């Protein structure tokens, strides 16, 4: 399937997905097929830096919408409502249920996007509605007087933002040829750490107002998402070629057969373990700083910002360099393996830290591993997609690997803390082992080197 995608869609696939130009000009079927093949043809096989820049800004903004609440504002909101003693359990409830909804919502909205025949395109309508619905959910969280209301708002935000995320990720196989995926994945890999820095900075900037801390990232991120949605030459699905809907097809929305697609399954397992390690870190670093390092609550936003900045400085460089080297060597697995091991070792450094400076060192080391991982892993996944005609759905299924950990981590963290005598060092040591397990899970994949 990777070679088929590199050479261009088959005639039937070209018929199913019409290029924006072919549809708008009212071309006949043969010309439509030719136009649909053009993005992968040698004459038009690369996307320009204008597109890459807009895509990166929109992808970074999508990350910003998620990370700003997860890193700072959601834990602080929960802490303000119930206090430090009850905060971990309450956060586990909110984050866990939200992540379960994300697990279902991402592939569902991906499938809906693959079936969308709107004149606005396949991806654009879901980008806009996801942004609006998610921002409304964040507003509910910001104004919530109790944990149940926080839960309702966060669930709404998770469902809506995952509709946005599913379609945003699908733009990569839609628009970018395989020869550029390492480069573009590397650029996209920079987006999460940059969004983390921007998110923590915005929260710090608006720290005088809880409402502004929540809505500032939505306003700024929303601008760039809308800019990309407006300028995107979106793919369009011919109404006559819309797949028939059935219960069996609906069930397949949430499943890709591991037996038929073992490489996809191994990539899924690797991503799951890596993100589980990351979920432990980001979900509990505020409480780690309060409890293990002994920071004052007023210092936490500033310290999270500095830690995120230290990590991101290394992530940005590692992501771009790793993505380019992966394209040049034609190899993916060795980069993913090494990156996961480095990230696991960084978590061990954080687990053993006794001061804020030790925490910063661990975050910086983690940036190296994280940068290479997010750059190359996405390219690896796109290379092993089961079917390019259902790219958004399959990427949605794959994104379950990034959603489940944010449900599992809050659920099992209290158990790990109880066994470890309340030590966040023990929790982060477990996270380190998870990352290393994820490193070796990718090795059995055969369709990528």
CA angle 360, 165, 378 (to 5 degrees): 65
Within a domain: 39: no
The C-alpha atoms of residue 227 and residue 367 are separated, in whole angstroms, by 29
Domain span at 249: 17-33+46-238+245-254+262-441
| Structure confidence at residue 307 as a pLDDT band (50, 70, 90) | confident
Q: Identify whether 64 is part of a domain.
A: yes
| Residue 157 confidence (pLDDT) | 93
108 part of a folded domain: yes
CATH at 166: 1.20.1250.20
Q: CA dist 374 to 17, 32, 53, 147, 380, Å?
A: 29, 35, 18, 33, 10
**pLDDT higher than 50, residue 272:** yes
pLDDT above 70 (res 372): yes
Domain count, the chain: 1
Measure Cα distances from 100 to 39, 267, 278, 293 in Å: 36, 20, 17, 31
* 340 inside domain: yes
Q: pLDDT tens digits for 322-335?
A: 777 777 777 777 78
pLDDT at position 424, please?
86
Rounded mean pLDDT of 7-11? 25
Let me know if residue 400 belongs to a domain: yes
Per-residue model confidence (pLDDT) at position 10? 26
Please indicate, yes or no, if residue 3 is contained in any of the structural domains.
no
For the residues 279-288, what does the mean pLDDT come to? 84
Predicted confidence (pLDDT) at residue 16 exceeds the cutoff of 70: no
Decide if 10 is inside a domain: no
Any domain includes 99: yes
Over its C-alpha atoms, the chain yields an Rg (Å, rounded) of 21
- CA 399 vs. chain centroid, Å, equals 7
Question: What's the whole-number mean pLDDT along residues 374-398?
Answer: 68
Per-residue pLDDT, averaged over 30-53, amounts to 51
The reported pLDDT for the residue numbered 34 is: 32
Between these two residues, 32 and 349, which has the higher pLDDT value? Answer: 349
| pLDDT tens-place string over residues 151-176 | 999 999 999 998 998 888 888 877 78
pTM over 0.75? The answer is no
Residue 380 has pLDDT above 60, yes or no: yes
Q: Which of 273, 435, 411 is nearest to 351 (CA)?
A: 435
């Amino acid at each position: 399937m990777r070679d088929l995608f590199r050479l261009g869609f088959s005639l039937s696939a070209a018929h199913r997905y019409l290029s924006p130009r072919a549809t708008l000009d009212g071309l006949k079927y043969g010309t439509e097929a030719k136009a649909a093949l053009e993005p992968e043809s040698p004459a038009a096989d690369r996307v320009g830096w204008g597109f890459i820049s807009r895509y990166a800004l929109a992808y970074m903004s999508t990350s910003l919408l998620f990370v700003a609440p997860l890193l700072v504002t959601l834990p602080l909101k929960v802490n303000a409502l119930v206090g430090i003693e009850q905060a971990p359990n309450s956060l586990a409830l909110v984050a866990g249920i939200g992540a379960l909804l994300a697990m279902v919502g991402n592939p569902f909205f991906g499938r809906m996007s693959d079936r969308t025949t709107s004149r606005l395109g396949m991806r654009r309508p879901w980008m806009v509605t996801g942004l609006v619905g998610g921002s409304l959910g964040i507003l509910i969280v910001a104004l919530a007087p109790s944990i149940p209301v926080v839960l309702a708002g966060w669930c709404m935000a998770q469902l809506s933002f995952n509709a946005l995320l599913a379609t945003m990720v699908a733009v990569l196989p839609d628009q970018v040829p395989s020869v550029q995926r390492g480069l573009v994945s590397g650029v996209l890999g920079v987006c999460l750490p940059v969004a983390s820095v921007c998110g923590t900075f915005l929260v710090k900037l608006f720290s005088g107002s809880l409402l502004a801390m929540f809505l500032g990232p939505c306003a700024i991120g929303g601008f760039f998402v809308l800019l990309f949605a407006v300028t995107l030459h979106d793919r369009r699905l011919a109404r006559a070629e819309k797949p028939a809907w059935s219960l069996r097809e609906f069930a397949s929305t949430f499943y890709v057969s591991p037996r038929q697609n073992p490489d996809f399954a191994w990539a899924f397992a690797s991503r799951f373990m890596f993100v589980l390690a990351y979920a432990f870190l980001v979900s509990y670093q505020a409480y780690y700083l309060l409890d293990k390092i002994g920071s004052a609550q007023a210092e936490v936003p500033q310290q999270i910002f500095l830690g995120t900045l230290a990590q991101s400085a290394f992530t940005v460089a590692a992501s771009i360099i790793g993505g380019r080297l992966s394209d040049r060597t034609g190899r993916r697995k060795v980069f993913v393996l090494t990156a996961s091991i480095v990230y696991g070792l960084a978590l061990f450094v954080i687990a053993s830290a006794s001061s804020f400076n030790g925490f910063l060192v661990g975050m910086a080391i983690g940036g190296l591993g994280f940068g290479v991982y997010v750059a190359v892993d996405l390219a690896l996944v796109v290379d092993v997609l089961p079917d390019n005609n259902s790219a958004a759905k399959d990427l949605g299924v794959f994104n379950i690997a990034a959603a489940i950990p944010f449900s599992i981590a809050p659920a099992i963290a209290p158990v790990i803390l109880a066994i470890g005598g309340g030590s966040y060092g023990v929790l982060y040591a477990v996270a380190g082992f998870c990352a290393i397990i994820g490193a070796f899970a990718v090795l059995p994949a055969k369709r990528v080197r």
